[in-house]
Every structure is written in C-alpha cells, then in structure tokens.
Chain A
Amino acid sequence: MVMDRPRTGDTRAAANAANDVEVQCGLTMELGWDRPLMLDCGVALGPFTLAYQAYGALNADRSNAILVCHALTGDQYMAGTHPVTGKPGWWSLMVGPGLPLDTERYFLICVNVLGGCMGSTGPKSVNPATGEPWALDFPVITIADMVRAQKLLIDRLGIDRLFAVIGGSMGGMQVLEWAARYPDKVFAAVPIATAARHTAQNIAFHEVGRQAIMADLDWCGGRYIAEGRNPDRGLAVARMTAHITYLSEPALHRKFGRRLQDRSSLTFGFEADFQVESYLRHQGASFVQRFDANSYLYITRAMDYFDLAQEHGGKLANAFRDTPVRFCVISFTSDWLFPTAENRSIVHALNACAADVSFVEIASDAGHDAFLLDEPEFSETLAGFIAGCAEHAGLNGRPDGR
C-alpha cells in the first residue's frame, strides 16, 4: 500500500462564492483512492480529501494522540488563529500549552468533517465526473461516514489507538460513533452536550434552516457556485435560527435584554431596533463569509439521521457491550438543544453494560454554547478526567521525555 504523505502548507482556493478568500488549509490528506469509502447511502466515494490541523507532537510510541471532533459549523481550526475569520480557534480556551488539552503533552488532531467546506471533500468540491462542483449530486453522508473517513486518516498517520476522542454537540455524536465502532482504538471518550440520537425538536430546527436556504432564489437548486451566486440571505436566516437554539433565554436576557440598538426610541419600522436583532443579523452575515450553504444542508442532515440505538438493534446499550473505553459524559444545565436528559440516557446505556463512565452536569446559563465558552468547572472536569486517564494509560510526562 502506498502511504499518503500529509501535505504541509498546501494553499488552496476555497471555492467560496461569497468571498474568494484564500484558505490556508494547513494539512490535507487524500484518501480512498486505493479503495473507495463505502458510504451508508450506498455510494462508493473516492478519492476524497480530508483537511485537518495538528497541534503538539506525537510521542515515540504514538500513544498520545487526541482526536477532537468539531460541531456542525466548526472546523479543524480549534486553536491558533482562524485563517478566514482572523479570530482565535473555536476551542482556543481548551487547546494549547498548559491548557486542559495540553499541546505540550498530547498530539491533538482536528479533522474537517467529510461534507464540510474548509478543505475536506464536500458538496462545493469538484465532482471528478463532471468537472463542476458536486452541489446536490454529492452523496448524503452520515455521522458514521464522517467517523469512518477520520479512521482512515488516523490509520494513515500510523496511530493505532487514540488516547482520547473528544467533542461537543455533533462532535459528541462522532465521539459516540467512534467508541461504538472502534472500541479497541479509543482509550477514552468524552461526549459533550450531545445525544445518541437527534430528537424531533432538533430535526425540526434543522428543517427550518434548510428550508430558509432552499427558499433563497440565489440557491439555484443547489447550483449556486456554477451560477456565480450564493444564497447569503437563506444561509444567514438558517444561522440566526440555529444561533438562538445555542443560547438560553437567561443568556439572551443578560446579554441584550430589551435594549435598543444605537437609538433612544423605537422607530416604528422593521430596522433592527433591538440589540438582539442586530446581534443575530451580525451572526448571520458573518457566518455566510465562512460557510457553504450546501455543506450546511448535508451536515444538518447527517445529524438528523444519527440514531446510535437504531444502528444497534434499537438498544443503545448494545452499541457499547463489553466496551473497554473510559467515558466522561458532560452536559450543561441550561442546554435545551441537547439537554442533560439526553446525555443521561447515554450514561444509562453505559451503566447497563457496566462501562467505565463518569457523568458531570455543569451549572451554566450559557445554553448549548457553554462548551465553547470559559466555564471553569467544565475545564477542571475535563482536565481532571484526561489526567486520570493519562495515568491509567501510562501516559506520563511530555512526548519529548522532559
């Protein structure tokens, strides 16, 4: 078998119709050209590209690797400066020297999911059969497909077993899928603010987002790149709706209340009178600068289709029978999108197979987004769990032996 060499510093133009920005995709790997990836939908995909970022150093016996799985609209840039937004990576509070996911001790990998739009193959990539962007001809992918693709990448990196797989929200779904699918390849698993299935309410919100995109005339039946257009308004509305689900009423109230935006009285019109409106419009407008509308359709669909119990004969515990993986499930009190009850049902299933599981609920009023924010108790818990696991795994000290 020919080894794929990760290409460093590969600069490629992101086919982002909104703003032809040059995306510095740190690392990419071509996969599936020797044998295509069999997707759940029945399509054989290959070759395909996965874009990823790596932080820290792999130790001599390649035992200190942690895979971090990003959420729906996240990407592989979890630390450092994001090449498109210029802002810190989405988990820069957690990943770095001396931080809970310590880059001086661990080799951290984050992969842009299959179907994504930050360098991994997705609907905006060129379909080799037509020479045009895939658009809606791109096969529908699932969480399991994303994980199978990541597994190929981890294999090619020569990592036999991941020390940990960690992720929040959709990232947590991938964590569960990893643990269920490859129990001997994962020492510890940390599903955060997630669920073993998408609920009717979750699906409902996603459907609103998708309909907003598809109702935008600039969507052009998905062929907007070929048409030189972009469904900015639809994608922005999708983001605005979703953004509300990531927060909580107390958080919104604390941040904005009924305060007015740059004015002293109501205008009796439909301008953004309220700060909260202005904030949401800003969220929508900045999102379309970095995200592909079709990717949004595909990735939300992957989440909707996720039901780990159903993949295992209708019983979630079957997914984890005799699992050697050490789990730490974490939820947040004010998260109503992936509430504690959903996280607890994962814990119940793990208890039913006497798995090694810790379960922590963090008190926070920040809603679902709490896992991305500065929540000291969350950081301490994660750091403690990882340190405990490192001790059990015999992973002490730094990769360079210092």
Chain B
Amino acid sequence: MSPLDTPRSDARAAVSPGFLRPDLALIAEMVTPGSRVLDIGCSDGALLEHLARARDVTARGMELQQKNVNACVARGLSVIQGDADTDLVEYPSGAFDYAILSLTLQATRDPRQVLEQMVRIARHAIVSFPNFGHWRVRLHLLLHGAMPVTDALPEPWYETPNIHLCTVKDFIGLTRRCGIEIEEAVVLNDRQQRSGLATPRLANLFGQKAIFRLKRGELAPGRR
C-alpha cells in the first residue's frame, strides 16, 4: 500500500455536506477568495468542494487513491490521480496561489522535497499535520513505553502509513533549513480550540494538529 492511502481517507471521510472538519475549515479561511488552489491528497474532495463553492476558487486536486479520484471527478471536481512525492515536479513554478497538503506530509517519502515543491509551484503553501509533540503523545510514550495511539494518530505502529511524524518544533526547524518563511501558524487542541504560536513551547505541547501557511523565503537555498 502506498503511504498516502489510509490516513487521508480515514481522516477526511464521513464529512457531511455543509460541515467541514475544524482543521479543514481553518485551512479554508487561509485561502483568499477567487484564487487558484491545488489540494494535494484531496481525498473525497470535501475541502475542494467547499473552496469552490464558498470561496469561489479555481480548485484542483491530486489524490493517490483511484477510487477517491473517480468519486471527486463524478462530483464535478477537477482531480487527477497522482503522488505528492513524485508528481509535483511536473507543475510549472507559480502555477497556483495556494498548494494545500492536509494531514499528509507525515506520510510522504520525502517531506522536505514535497515542501520545497509546494512553495515552488504556489505562492503560498498550507500544510497541516498531527503534532507528535502533543502532551497525550508524550504521556503515552512515557507511561506505557509504547508507540502512541491517539485521536489524531489512530493506527497502531504496524499499520500506520505515517513514516515521517514530526512535532511543531521539528517542522519549524525544517522550514528554517529550507529557507521557507512561516506566514501564519495555528494549532488546534484536542477540543478543536485554536491558538497561535506566540509561545511555541505551549503550542507544541497542547496543539494536537498544526496548520502552517508558508511561502518561499527571499533567500531560499536552491535545493533541487
């Protein structure tokens, strides 16, 4: 099975019409109406459809699982079957205003390259991921001495497609290394309440999911 398969379908499935999961709603708010968007790993197309209808964006999607792709196209969405790790290189630079990657980065083979491709093909990248620095994750490992299984990370270690989990702190470190600028950052705690990154240590402790809006830094090192 390919790495992008399960978490996306599980995480995004069962979104009733009109209701958008809180982290997806947060992403949608970061998108300027009328812009061009590529949703990478768009799953069943819930976010794409919301963006197209509520924010009048030119919405396009890429999804690994063929059955999700077919369902999206049958709903009238522009979606192709593709892999974040290999297929982003095809797009020309600046093709989109926003490239969105929600809850998928941790399942890619080369997260650094994916991030770099995202800020190349779009003026802004929006990335969300489950925060491995969340206190429940830390406590689980501390108390049980076993790989954490939480709401945001529901699969046991032998079934999870998540191969590159990171904390908020790790992610910020990677953006610095890649010369990527953080434009906005929000975390959602386990009660879906939002907070900013004014105190990064607290955000890393209480944020269950993190959402970053990024752009290519002025002096981005030219890797690839």
Contact = CB atoms under 8 A, between A and B. Distances in A.
Contact of B80 (A359, A377, A383): A359
B50 interface: no
B58 A356 contact: yes
Contacts of B96: 354
Contacts of B92: 352-354
A358 interface: yes
Interface stretch (B3-11, B69-77, B128-136, B165-173): B69-77
A42 to B, nearest CB: 36
A381 B74 contact: yes
A7 interface: no
B91 A354 contact: yes
A377 B69 CA distance: 11
A110 to B, nearest CB: 24
Interface string A295-327: 000000000000000000000000000000010
B79 interface: yes
Given A347-B80, A354-B96, A388 B66 contact: no
A374 interface: no
Nearest to A348: B90
A356 B78 contact: yes
B95 A385 contact: no
Contacts of A356: 58, 60, 78
A330 B99 CA distance: 24
B70 A360 contact: yes
Contacts of B82: 359
A358 B75 contact: no
Given A351-B87, A351-B90, A384-B75, A362 B70 contact: yes
B81 interface: yes
Interface in A326-369: 326, 328, 347-348, 351-354, 356-363
Nearest to A357: B80
A337 B66 CA distance: 21
Interface majority SS on B: helix, strand, loop or mixed?
Answer: mixed
Nearest to A384: B74
Contacts of A384: 73-76
B70 A381 contact: yes
B78 A361 contact: no
A265 B37 CA distance: 64
Given A348-B90, A351-B87, A352-B92, A359 B74 contact: no
B130 to A, nearest CB: 29
B87 A377 contact: no
B80 A381 contact: no
Interface residues on B, range: 20 to 34
Interface string A368-402: 00000000010011011101110100000000000
A36 B134 CA distance: 74
A394 to B, nearest CB: 14
B97 to A, nearest CB: 11
A363 B70 CA distance: 10
Given A352-B90, A359-B81, A363-B66, A381 B76 contact: no
Contact of A326 (B70, B78, B95): B78
Contacts of B73: 328, 358, 360, 381, 384-385
Contacts of A363: 66
Interface in B39-88: 58, 60, 66, 69-70, 72-82, 87
Interface string B82-115: 1000010011100110000000000000000000
A192 to B, nearest CB: 13
A348 B80 CA distance: 10
A100 B20 CA distance: 30
B76 A361 contact: no
B78 A380 contact: no
B91 A388 contact: no
Contacts of A360: 66, 69-70, 73, 81
Interface of B: 58, 60, 66, 69-70, 72-82, 87, 90-92, 95-96
9 contacts: A351-B80, A351-B87, A357-B60, A358-B80, A359-B80, A360-B81, A361-B69, A381-B70, A388-B78
User: Which 6 pairs, one residue from A and one from B, show the smallest C-beta to C-beta distance?
Assistant: A388-B76, A384-B74, A354-B95, A359-B80, A351-B90, A380-B74
Given A354-B96, A358-B69, 7 more contacts: A358-B77, A359-B82, A362-B70, A380-B74, A384-B73, A385-B73, A387-B76
